Structure 1
Amino acid sequence: MSLDIHLLIGGEAGQGLVTIGQLLSKALVRAGYEVFVSQSYHSRIRGGHNTFAIRLGAGPFFAPRVSIDILVALNAETVALHRGQLTGQALLIADASFAPDQPGVIAVPFAELGPEQLWNTAALALLGNILDLPSEALHQAVEAMLGKKHPEALAENREIMEKSREWAAVHVPQHGFALTGGVSAADRLLLNGNQAIALGALAGGLKFCAFYPMTPATSIVLELITHAEVMGCVIEQAEDEIAAINMAIGAAFAGAVSMVATSGGGFALMAEGVSLAAMTETPVLIAVAQRPGPATGMPTRTEQADLEFVLHAGHGEFPRAIFAPGSIEACFALAQKALALAERSQSPVFLLTDQFLADSSRPVAPFDLTTIVPVATGSETASASIPYQRYRLTENGLSPRLLPGFSPQLVVADSDEHDEEGHISEDHGVRIAMVEKRLRKCELLKQEAIAPELSGEKGADLLFVCWGSSLGPVQEAAAVLRGQGRQVASLHFSQVWPLVPDQFLDILQGAGKIVCVEGNATGQFARLIQRETGFAIPERIARYDGLPFTARYIVERLAAMEERA
């Protein structure tokens, strides 16, 4: 079995390349193979060059690859753009009308196989033949997509798939991409990061989500909508992001476990609402899916440049926590933790993802739901003083939170500074007491902080420091370098605020060469570490062209860095 095959499908939006890729990925996972799916697309309904990439084989895989083993070109532009990435033994599949005349090219007469709207199904069957996937596995994937309510469409798809298989049996040249050794693994889930965030939030007790559509965060909400009725969750599309954050705060004040999902431009409109949540001490989860800025930037590309924005968003000083998952599993787990921590700390909590993680899919084992305790609100009736003081001064900064209408007590909230009962106050002593009360909650956030994960030996000659979605590419780059005989470790932060130096400073101090890998131009996380610990990381590998990190990119930049030194 070929251990690592990179298959890329390219074409215009609307040509069905995502359909081919999704069906093939699901069939591969059902057959027991590992896949890593990544997408690149333009912000257009039709047109623009889009790709759907699948790394497949023994795996597991955690990042995309640059070189291509099998290229499926749905238009001539795909051939021109990706021809230079083909490996020496690559296959190029294209319609006979624009297929180049060179070794490894499979010129397919799609028009002879069936109508144009089914050419993507024909390409799917052709790929099944090349990879030696059972026909029935692909038929089942198509049936799952169309459903049994469309027997005519199923029959048409089966017919063109059989024609494509028969054609491929005669015309596909010898190659080394046939898969063998797969074991059925039907108990795995093929999920992307945004789907995992949505499922994790629902498992954690989410009951309300407000949003205004913005790529690449919208698919979080689309996944929530899929399960909303069964899970008893209300989804509201607001007129803008200002309304969305205020709706979520209002729902949380009334007792619903709440969140919003947005990207940088939308979050810019939510900044005042973040301060409102802090002042009223109302828990809310804010998922920010990063994309390149400033302004609209590159709407469908990826970046890690909103860290400082999210850290400092909102006027005034108040506690917050920021999580940054680096895997599908972490997206699920941290969505739950973020909801629970928001409730415990009565503060806004953030989940930072990005387009790369949002749209990347991997097979994962079913999540263990037995240990999940959904967030419970309004459970502090017994500890509430009478008369009720919503903002009672306490040693840990946390005051009993009653829900309006669920007890005889009056629950008061105000966006201005207020006294213990919640009434507006301009008394300077009250102001000092309330600021210090809110900031005392920082201690809880530090106690709950997730320590960064060290992979490799402590004290390694080379240490990669990374956060969020750069985890997978860094892991693969470290594996490549270890294969070259180097001693390499990586330190990944899935929580980027608050930072607790006792959890990681000794690792930094004991390492040899340290390189921070992050997807922004200015080294935001490296600067944050220096600000909080005094430890400087001068060496960094940055990427800010809108594309995700790959192991090759990191290894090549490291080599160039070391050559200059």
Structure 2
Amino acid sequence: MISGGIIIVDINIKIGGEAGQGIQTIGSVLSRTFVRDGFYVYGNQFYLSRVRGGHNYFHIRVSDHPVYTLNEKIDILVALDKQTIPDHIEEVKEGFVLTDESTVGDNADAKIVSVPFTEISKDVSGKKLFSNTVAVGAVFGLLCYDLATLKKFLSETFKSKGDEVVEKNIKAAEAGYDYVRNDKFEGICNYNLNPQPTNRRILINGNDSVGVGALAAGVQFLSAYPMTPSTGVMTRVASHADDFNAVVEQAEDEIAAINMAIGASFAGVRAMTTTSGGGFCLMTEGLGLSGITETPIVIFLGQRPGPATGLPTMTEQGDLNFVLHAAQGEFPRCVLAPRTAKDAFYQTIRAFNIAEKYQIPVLILSDQHLADGLFTYERFDTSGLKINRHLLEDRAVGSDYQRYAITKSGLSPRAIPGQNGALVVADSDEHNEAGHIDQTTDNRIRMNEKRLRKVDGLTDEMQMPAIHGIDGADVSLIGWGSSYGPLAEAVDILNHDEVSINLIHFSDIYPLSHNAASILEGLNTTICVENNATGQFARLLRAELGFEVSKKMLRYDGLPFTPQSVIRELKGMEVI
């Protein structure tokens, strides 16, 4: 993250404006162009729940080293609306503000560089439609950056819309570039970037990583009702469904979505559903159905601040308690919370393997911060991926087959209905080994204990937390899920300043690894860092491991942590 404690190139660009002004287009074009030229990009966006209007922004960080979080310091602020400058100009300490003449208003700050985006767009195309491309060119002009890769990217992006659209976009970018270079900063270069073009890196967000991971795991059925911030998983799988022989069904509601997925899994295919907290409320009865029928299913839950509609486009880690205890009764489940987009890819594959091995629901717990966050990686290594369906072979299925046979491990042999003539019976009532309803007390005890015995084997498979930073630190941050990037960089910055601190970070949330307690017990001052108001993971550590953290650092304003915000909080706690 920080090589030798220093990131040589670290440029932060924020584009602010109203919904409908092309903020995502600018952010995407800039991000993908930089990645093609060999830089690492991390990006994320803040957007309101509306189609037009409101104040939104897209934040991009460009570096020559891998970065997994945003930096609060802004080098270039692109203002497409009047609200951007008063809201964000204080974040621009030593950089510049690029803004259309119409949005300058009464601001007279020396950092403001007025560029007539709209007028330039009209001059080169006859329309103001290309003003956001003018802004992209202006950013590259301010960076003294060669336009070759940008032109190629624009050509590829707009090729389907015809040569005229491609030509106008390129002219708009060139005009914005020339205006800044020739009219504003002739002979002056404020940034030193050295592109090293590559085609080996990918730019991918958390949702796309989960979707691609599901396809790599062999998912053949996905049912969901669209809900921010989880919808991207469904659309990613749908975009490749034909290539992977998969079916994607947009259900009428979340109740239908989870029951469709359970039905598909019962019929023998790998199945999943996606939702957010509000949708998962409707899925809880289906979750219990998966539990008692021992039908494997993967559920992706993208968290956002609740309760009810809450803040539908912002981030929070507020649903951990909910997923741990959802549905009536007691049955095994597994909860995974990926750290990064790359981790999301591999954890999704694990989720399917765990679900089918233990015949349980597995929940992948993400949030808006990870779902929409753009990460740069070398292409994922898939050479070691394994898919194990844990299904009986035909020769092992006979007339005496019992779907819920009691075993020492709690794992019963799983056959597909109709396989080799076997009768496969499932029931949401308590049932006997053959799957038929049996409400006797002795049977209830045997079947309940059989299901719960799976937890022992499952716990053995849970991964230990990642440890980042120096050994034997005076202070240890404890985090989980999407907070890894900002926490790890905060530790790097402080270690570089000779502060004794490290990070213990969990991605396998439930059940916790047998050996996790041995790591925690050897720590000194511990601070559990969470994007919620009640310290839900700290509560889980206490309940499951008997471990009490020293302090909690909680954020619940809908925004993610940054390295700078973490360091400020630590100083306020007087632990560093």
RMSD after superposition? 1.6
C-alpha deviation, 1:155, in angstroms: 1.4
3-state SS in 1 of match to 2:129: helix
1:513 aligns with 2:520: no
| Alignment correspondent of 2:111 | 104
C-alpha deviation, 1:139, in angstroms: 1.3
| Alignment correspondent of 1:129 | 141
| Alignment correspondent of 2:352 | 339
- Distance in 1 (CA, whole Å) between partners of 2:479 and 2:131 is 42
Output the amino acid matched with 2:307: P
| Alignment correspondent of 1:90 | 95
- Distance in 2 (CA, whole Å) between partners of 1:239 and 1:404 is 27
| Alignment correspondent of 2:551 | 539
| Alignment correspondent of 2:336 | 323
C-alpha deviation, 1:490, in angstroms: 0.6
User: 1:459, 1:507 within 8 Å by CA — same for their partners in 2?
Assistant: no
1:7 aligns with 2:13: yes
- Distance in 1 (CA, whole Å) between partners of 2:431 and 2:521 is 45
Output the amino acid matched with 2:128: E
3-state SS in 2 of match to 1:444: helix
- Distance in 2 (CA, whole Å) between partners of 1:72 and 1:107 is 10
1:172 aligns with 2:177: no
Output the amino acid matched with 2:116: P
User: 1:205, 1:375 within 8 Å by CA — same for their partners in 2?
Assistant: no
TM-score, normalising length: structure 1:
0.97
C-alpha deviation, 1:538, in angstroms: 3.2
- Distance in 1 (CA, whole Å) between partners of 2:159 and 2:263 is 40
Moved more, 91-100 or 234-243: 91-100
Output the amino acid matched with 1:366: R
Moved more, 55-64 or 191-200: 55-64
3-state SS in 1 of match to 2:552: strand
| Alignment correspondent of 2:169 | 157
Output the amino acid matched with 2:282: L
Output the amino acid matched with 1:40: F
C-alpha deviation, 1:376, in angstroms: 3.1
User: 2:476, 2:524 within 8 Å by CA — same for their partners in 1?
Assistant: yes
| Alignment correspondent of 2:508 | 495
Distance of aligned partners of 1:331 and 1:343 in 2 relative to their CA distance in 1, 3 Å threshold: same
- Distance in 2 (CA, whole Å) between partners of 1:537 and 1:253 is 42
User: 1:460, 1:489 within 8 Å by CA — same for their partners in 2?
Assistant: yes
- Distance in 2 (CA, whole Å) between partners of 1:548 and 1:111 is 33
| Alignment correspondent of 1:202 | 215
- Distance in 2 (CA, whole Å) between partners of 1:2 and 1:101 is 32
User: 2:80, 2:103 within 8 Å by CA — same for their partners in 1?
Assistant: no
1:392 aligns with 2:410: no
Matched pairs, number: 562
Output the amino acid matched with 1:401: R
C-alpha deviation, 1:373, in angstroms: 2.3
C-alpha deviation, 1:334, in angstroms: 0.2
| Alignment correspondent of 1:304 | 317
Unaligned segments of structure 2, at least 5 residues: 1-6, 122-126
- Distance in 1 (CA, whole Å) between partners of 2:215 and 2:118 is 46
Distance of aligned partners of 1:380 and 1:275 in 2 relative to their CA distance in 1, 3 Å threshold: farther
Moved more, 295-304 or 113-122: 113-122
User: 1:3, 1:57 within 8 Å by CA — same for their partners in 2?
Assistant: yes
For residue 152 of structure 2, the aligned residue among 140, 158, 165 is: 140
- Distance in 2 (CA, whole Å) between partners of 1:175 and 1:277 is 64
Matches within 5 A, 1:69-468: 69-87=75-93, 89-99=94-104, 100-114=107-121, 115-173=127-185, 177-376=190-389, 378-384=391-397, 386-468=399-481
1:550 aligns with 2:557: no
User: 2:119, 2:128 within 8 Å by CA — same for their partners in 1?
Assistant: no
Q: How big is each residue's C-alpha offset from its partner over 1:387-422, in whole Å with a ceiling of 9 and x where there is no partner?
A: 211111111111111111232111111110001110
Moved more, 310-319 or 125-134: 125-134
1:16 aligns with 2:22: yes
User: 2:214, 2:348 within 8 Å by CA — same for their partners in 1?
Assistant: yes
C-alpha deviation, 1:497, in angstroms: 0.4
Output the amino acid matched with 1:455: H
- Distance in 2 (CA, whole Å) between partners of 1:364 and 1:562 is 36
- Distance in 1 (CA, whole Å) between partners of 2:143 and 2:367 is 32
Moved more, 7-16 or 145-154: 145-154
User: 2:469, 2:495 within 8 Å by CA — same for their partners in 1?
Assistant: no
For residue 42 of structure 2, the aligned residue among 36, 44, 56 is: 36
Q: How big is each residue's C-alpha offset from its partner over 1:463-506, in whole Å with a ceiling of 9 and x where there is no partner?
A: 11000001111001111211221111111101110013x42223
For residue 26 of structure 1, the aligned residue among 32, 43, 68 is: 32
C-alpha deviation, 1:377, in angstroms: 6.1
- Distance in 2 (CA, whole Å) between partners of 1:175 and 1:449 is 55
C-alpha deviation, 1:147, in angstroms: 2.1
3-state SS in 2 of match to 1:49: strand
User: 1:254, 1:403 within 8 Å by CA — same for their partners in 2?
Assistant: yes
C-alpha deviation, 1:149, in angstroms: 5.0
- Distance in 2 (CA, whole Å) between partners of 1:356 and 1:139 is 30
Output the amino acid matched with 2:382: L
User: 1:206, 1:259 within 8 Å by CA — same for their partners in 2?
Assistant: yes
Unaligned segments of structure 1, at least 5 residues: none
User: 1:323, 1:352 within 8 Å by CA — same for their partners in 2?
Assistant: yes
User: 1:2, 1:179 within 8 Å by CA — same for their partners in 2?
Assistant: no
C-alpha deviation, 1:133, in angstroms: 2.7
3-state SS in 1 of match to 2:574: helix
3-state SS in 2 of match to 1:76: coil
